[in-house]
Amino acid sequence: MIKTDVVDYIANELYKAERDCYEVDKFVDQFPELNVELAYKVQESLTEKKCREENTKISGRKLGLTSRAKQEMMGVHEPSYGILLENMQLFEGERIRVHPFIHAKIEPEIAFIFDKEVKGPSVSVTDILEATAYITPAVEIIDSRYRNFKFTLADVIADNSSSSRYMFGEKFHQVDDVDLRLMGMVFKKNGEVVATSAGASVMGHPARAVAWMANKLIERGQSINPGEVVLSGALSEAFTLTAGDHFSVSFDGIGALEAAFTDKK
Ligand code: OOG
Ligand code: MG
């Protein structure tokens, strides 16, 4: 197959796996040419297909594998990024149906909401903080399309960094109100503390992860746009979720967010 065919083939396989809720084998074995660069092309093709088929549009971006906890859990030691679409957003208070998921997990994150454009290639932590309108607690539901949630860096990038759904708090906070590095985090599952962390778990400073992404995006001619939301990447490992589960993430100084799951249709 020629390269553009490989890109479209993989994008299509991943699209169908998500739509029809089944696992696929990772693609690096079948396509040894699948490197990081080609994988971002697959991600773009997949995004275009979803926007077209699902009549939705880009609402922001997400970082992945930005904390040691996540890198060790997944055995992938470099960060990645992905796209968030409008139809992936969930709102606090709604019960989240588990039916569309293959084998979803949930993770605690920080959402940055931008009111200015951020364009690489020399974006710093300060640039990110200056362009941020608000920060707020967030959770991401990830749902790798790969068998047993196992992948290489290129595979996970092609699969839009495992993204599935996201939710962020409706109470917004100024970045100056907190020290993002020292900001403590407590993650609870069904009332029990399952993880604790602090902002610095994400690349030393959560805004550093966002700056890293902005500097990568420009290689593809892209930037963070005003109005977009960016998820920092999880501050702890991710947790399996099933119907009936209830999760809460609380951050020092910026409040909490809750997510409850149901098997009701
Ligand atoms: C890849 C996506 C990781 C995060 O926050 O670290 C991610 C995965 O673990 O499936 O979203
Ligand atoms: Mg995540």
* Residue 243 φ/ψ region, left for φ over 0, alpha for ψ in the -120 to 50 degree band, beta for the rest: beta
Of ligand 1's listed atoms, the one at least distance from the Cα of 156 is 1
Low-confidence ranges of the chain (pLDDT < 70): none
CA 48 to chain centre: 18
Ligand 1 contacts CB of residue 76 (under 6 A):
no
Of ligand 1's listed atoms, the one at least distance from the Cα of 79 is 6
Ligand 1 contacts CB of residue 234 (under 6 A):
yes
What token pair was written down for 49? 């297909």
Alpha-carbon dihedral sign for residues 264, 250, 139, 177: positive
Q: Which residue has its alpha carbon closest to ligand 1 atom 9? A: 74
Asked whether the beta carbons of 57 and 85 are under 8 A apart, the reply is yes
Domain 3-262, CATH among 3.30.590.10, 3.90.850.10, 3.30.70.20, 3.40.50.720: 3.90.850.10
Considering only CA atoms, which of 60, 201, 184, 205 is closest in space to residue 126? 205
137-164 in b/e form (b: 16+ CB < 10 A) is bbbbbbbbbbeebebbbbbbbbbbbbbb
Distance 127 CA to ligand 2 centre (A): 22
Whole-angstrom distance between the N-terminal and C-terminal Cα of the chain?
41
Ligand 1 contacts CB of residue 26 (under 6 A):
no
pLDDT of amino acid 264: 87
Distance 1 CA to ligand 2 centre (A): 32
pLDDT of amino acid 3: 80
pLDDT of amino acid 119: 98
Domain boundaries, the chain: 3-262
pLDDT of amino acid 265: 72
pLDDT tens-digit map of 10-43: 999 999 999 999 999 999 999 999 999 999 999 9
HSE toward the beta carbon, residue 69, CA cutoff 13 A:
19
What token pair was written down for 181? 């590095």
Mutate to test the pocket of ligand 1, among 71, 74, 88 (most ligand atoms within 8 A of CB): 74
Asked whether the beta carbons of 202 and 174 are under 8 A apart, the reply is no
What token pair was written down for 155? 């595979």
pLDDT of amino acid 4: 83
Distance 141 CA to ligand 1 centre (A): 9
- Backbone angles phi and psi of 223, in degrees to 5: -145, 170
